[in-house]
Structures are given as structure tokens and as C-alpha cells.
Structure 1
């Protein structure tokens, strides 16, 4: 069975390989120390390549941040970012004047569309204990018809995201966190209106799977034969599909037309990305994703001319007050907080 289901396997690192309609997936897993008064690490930064710190010294990275870890202002056009913060906090600010703080299982789904500049910073709010952070950032492409749609973001708060849990007779549990795409009879929350995931035939799914030791979980068959399904085992003891054991830090392309049973003797966590390919040409340069070189050239002209609205904040990587709870203030002034 496994020989029929598992089409390809690859090892995983910080950045995971993806297949159309996905462009990119990064798994950030940083064991940050206690924080200081500036919400940065209360530790020496000596020996780090500040501004480009991706080496993981002592189990954590500053990324492009110099005081607070994270990604100061940078532009995007032509695709979407799905940021799932499993542990820790992320602070968002953007060129539309919107700000947000989310984490502890929340998701921010941002349609860059015609262009946006934003920052994503990871404040270390706890000054007396470590500040572990784990997040996934997934880039989902937009079809040509939607690449120039208005920028927009949707918050999927942890307590509202649908979850499918099953507990067996031994009290062991499996759970599916449904970020996108129905899982069986359980539908997801709505994606942004111009997302590829909003098209019914796109069959986009983003699921976080958790299996306790000694449990099994069945992935339903995809809606179309064209759907591409990729399984990433990122934590635990791995999973078994038929006779094949997929170890931790393994990605695999699975045949999606049939239901697939995963078993884990030691427990595992996995991410599933699936979707029907958009199937259009891709021209990408860094944070800009268009369909041809002419589109990229125009993007650079537009960005140099307009700054995608300009940067309204006094610093490149704003962080919110340490005691501020999770929230989102949208460009139209709408304040949103998890219930």
C-alpha cells in the first residue's frame, strides 16, 4: 500500500519544499531565552550575523531583527502569507496602518495582492523564563486574475479554528487543526475573499495533525484527482503508512485520490498542505511573485514609486507593549480581539 501512496520523500530543514499552488513554507522553531526591557533576548548577541542571523546559535535566531527577533518591514505582491503561530507571539504592522498581535495557536492569513509592506516581529515578553517560539509561514500563490486584488488580512483565532478530536478506549487522542479545507464533514473558517483557497474547485487544505503514541488517523480522499497533497512530519517519532515509516523531519508527496491511514507508535505532529495547482507561469524575485518578467518589472517600478502605501511607523520593526493582549486593528479601524 505505502508504495502506491507515497510518491516522493525529502528531508526537511528550516525551509520546506512545496508544490503549486504553494510557493514556500518555513518552520521557525526557536528556544528563545528570557526577554529584556526592549522585548529582545536577555543574552549576548556577540558572534551573530545581526541583520541576517539564521544559524541557530544556542537554539535561536534573530533573523533580520537587531534588537527584537523577526522580520522588519518588507514588501510583498502577488501571493498570500499564512502564518500559523503554534507557540509564542508575533507582532504585525503594515503599510495600510493596520497592527496586530497573535499567537498561541492563532493564524493570520494575509492577501498581499497588489502590494503591501509589513513587519513580523517576535517579542520576548517574559523576563523571568524562556520564550519558546514555533511558527509556520506558508506562501500560497494567487492566480493572475487575483494578483492585483486589494491587500487584506483575516485573523483565525485559536479558539475559533475548527478542530477534529478523537479519543480511543485507552484515552489516547488524535487532533486535526483545520486552518484551511474541510476535513471530512468539518468545514474550515472562511479564507480571505480573493484567496485561491476561496475557490471551491481549488481543494486547498492546511491541516495540523497531532497523534498521541499508539494512535492512527485517516486522511480523507481529496476532492479532485488533480489535487497535490504533501505531508510534513515535523515533531515526534514519525508516522507509518502501510509498511513505510516516515521519520521526523521528512516531507512526502502522497497520492491524494484515496483515504490514507497514518499510524504513530511513538506520537507525531505533521502538517498537510494540499491543493489543485494553479498551473500558471511563475516569475518570482524575492517577495514579488507575478506571471512573467514584465509583471516583475512593473512591480519594482510601482514599489519604487508608491512604496505600496509607504511605511507609517517610526521604526522598521515595531513591537507592541509587553502587556498588550492578542488583537487586530484593521485598516478600516475595526478592532478585533479573540473571545
Structure 2
């Protein structure tokens, strides 16, 4: 079975009144190439007449954001002209590429009525050859994302990208980024084989899992060695896992604020281009 290198606890990083935990990057783990950043917002309950999510207009370049809405909603708008409101169970995939400005806030209905909120945003790196691709955005509701099942139907997987349990994911990607949200019933098991050439992203959102003999509690991320393909996962209680795997790029990574490039010169160029309006202009 694949060896565990270290288990990392997500760090408490609230953003105003928004509960936020982040397992990557931290002092103990910078990245799991090509997965570079994860924020876990919530779970929490917003009251009526709330201010919603705080992520007003801001730029990105050189990476992709994948946003998983477990509860609540997100109203997306960007300088490329895309707009959507994605609700519970939906996923957004935004390729920042050469650069754009976007905002991720709550819908007017959510701000008025309040309710449960739990959202994860994962940043996936782009290889150097794709960092300046034309930006794009796709938001899909829950019913538009394929679901795969284990043989005994006790584990279901919302297949976001790549392929998992024989099911093709909803989003097309530039590289072999495989991402799924896995839902475990109590007393369920799953055996997987992931090529040793690929890095695994394994973050327990909710519940408690055991993987290859080690117990992993919620809000913990597992860093694996690349020494064996086999994973044995079991759940004694209902649990949710954000699971991914991909071939590492093995390129220099320089991340500053909202930009992820391969050199400081490219970061400086990104800030200059943003200030010059080359990532689009924001209009309310």
C-alpha cells in the first residue's frame, strides 16, 4: 500500500465572520504539485439579512480555481462577461490563464434569507505552456455533474474532472487533473489503485476515514509517498473526502497574492498588466 509521509491539520484562518480552515499552503506543506492551495469555508449558518461571502472583485493569472459548493450558493461574475449563481452540490471551474478579474459573493436571496454554508476552493496550477491561455469559466449545478458508485453502492463519487470508477468527469482540463468529491456511508470501504507517477490530494472534509491503516479525522490532509499504487479507504461513519490525483509538473512555482507563475519577473509583469487594465475592467 502507498505509504503516508505526513498528516497535516488545516490551519484556522477566519476571513471576517467567515469560518475558514486551510491545509495548504502551511509552514509544514507548501504544495502537492500541481495542487497549490485549499480554503475550506464553513460549515456555518448565516442569519437573515447577512453580508454573504466577502470575495469582491480581484484578479488571477497562471492558475485555475475549482470551487465546491457543499451548502449555500455562489454568485460569480468576471471581466470576461461570465455570470452565474451556482447552488448546493454545484462546482465552478475557472481557468484564470492570462488573467481576469472575478468576484465570488452570495446571491441576493442567500443574503436575505441566510442558511447553511460550506464551500471549498482549490487552486490548481497551470503548466508554463498553458499559463497564458485565454481565460474561461464554467459553473455547473449538482444535476449536471456525473456520479459514480462503488460496487456495493456505499460510496458515491461526484466526478468533477478526469475519470473515476469508470466515469468521466464533468470538466475538461489541460492536464490529467482528476478531481472527485467522495461520499462514504457508515461502514463502507473503497479500494483504489493510483499510478505511483501521480501525486494524490486527500482532504477529509467531514467525518473520519482510515486510509492504509491510518485514521484521518476531518480537516486533515494526507501527504503520501509515491511508492505504491494501492489505497484502502474505510469509513465507520458518514464522511466526505475531497480526492484528487495528477502527474506533477515539476516546474518552478512563484506565488504572490492572486498570481501563480514560474518566476518573480512574471509575477511583476502580472501586477503591471493588471494595473494597466490588461485583465479586463470591472463594471458593476
Structure 2: distance between partners of 1:176 and 1:134: 18
1:153 pairs with one of 115, 122, 137: 137
Structure 2 runs not aligned, ≥5 long? 12-20, 25-30
Distance in 2 between residues matched to 1:241 and 1:144, nearest whole Å: 33
Which residue pairs with 1:11 in the alignment?
9
What is the CA–CA distance in structure 2 between the aligned matches of 1:230 and 1:218, rounded to whole Å? 16
Match of 1:100 among 84, 91, 94: 84
Separation (CA, whole Å) in 1 of partners of 2:256 and 2:280: 20
Alignment partner, residue 123 of structure 1: 107
Write out the 4+ residue segments of structure 1 that deviate beyond 3 Å after TM superposition: 126-130, 254-257
CA RMSD of aligned residues (A): 2.1
Q: Kindly indicate whether residue 239 of structure 2 is the aligned counterpart of residue 268 of structure 1.
A: yes
What are the within-5 Å matches in structure 2 for residues 32-47 of structure 1? 32-36=45-49, 41=50
Residue in 2 aligned with 1:251?
221
CA contact (8 A) 2:100 2:279 kept: yes
**Superposition deviation, residue 167 in structure 1:** 7.3
Q: Distance in 2 between matches of 1:185 and 1:234?
A: 24
The structure with more radius of gyration: 1
2:186 to 192, 198, 213: 213
1:87 aligns with 2:71: yes
Q: 1:129 to 1:300 in 2, by over 3 A?
A: closer
- Distance between the aligned counterparts of 1:240 and 1:230, measured in 2? 15
8 Å Cα contact 1:284-1:290 kept in structure 2: yes
Deviation at 1:140, TM superposition (A): 0.7
Superimposed CA distance per residue, residues 219-247 of structure 1 (whole angstroms, 9 cap, x where no aligned partner): 3x22x4321112111211x1123432222
Q: Which moved more, 1:239-248 or 1:126-135?
A: 126-135
Measured in 1, the distance between the counterparts of 2:171 and 2:274 equals 30
Q: How does 1:267-286 map to 2 (within 5 A)?
A: 267-286=238-257
Task: Name the counterpart of 1:306.
Answer: 277
Q: Counterparts of 1:125 and 1:216 in 2: how far apart (Å)?
A: 39
Residue 186 (str. 1) matches residue 170 (str. 2): no
Partners of 2:204 and 2:6 in 1: CA distance? 14
Equivalent residue pairs, number: 268
Query: Shift of residue 25 of structure 1?
Result: 0.8
Is the aligned partner of 1:198 residue 2:174? yes
TM-score (norm 1): 0.73
d(CA) in 2 for partners of 1:277, 1:127: 40
User: Does the alignment pair 1:68 with 2:61?
Assistant: no
TM-score (structure 2 length as normaliser): 0.87
1:54 corresponding residue in structure 2: none
Larger mean CA deviation between 182-191 and 290-299 belongs to 182-191
Q: Pick closer, same or farther for the CA change 1:130–1:94 going to 2, 3 Å.
A: closer
Unaligned runs of 5+ in 1: 42-66, 192-196, 314-339
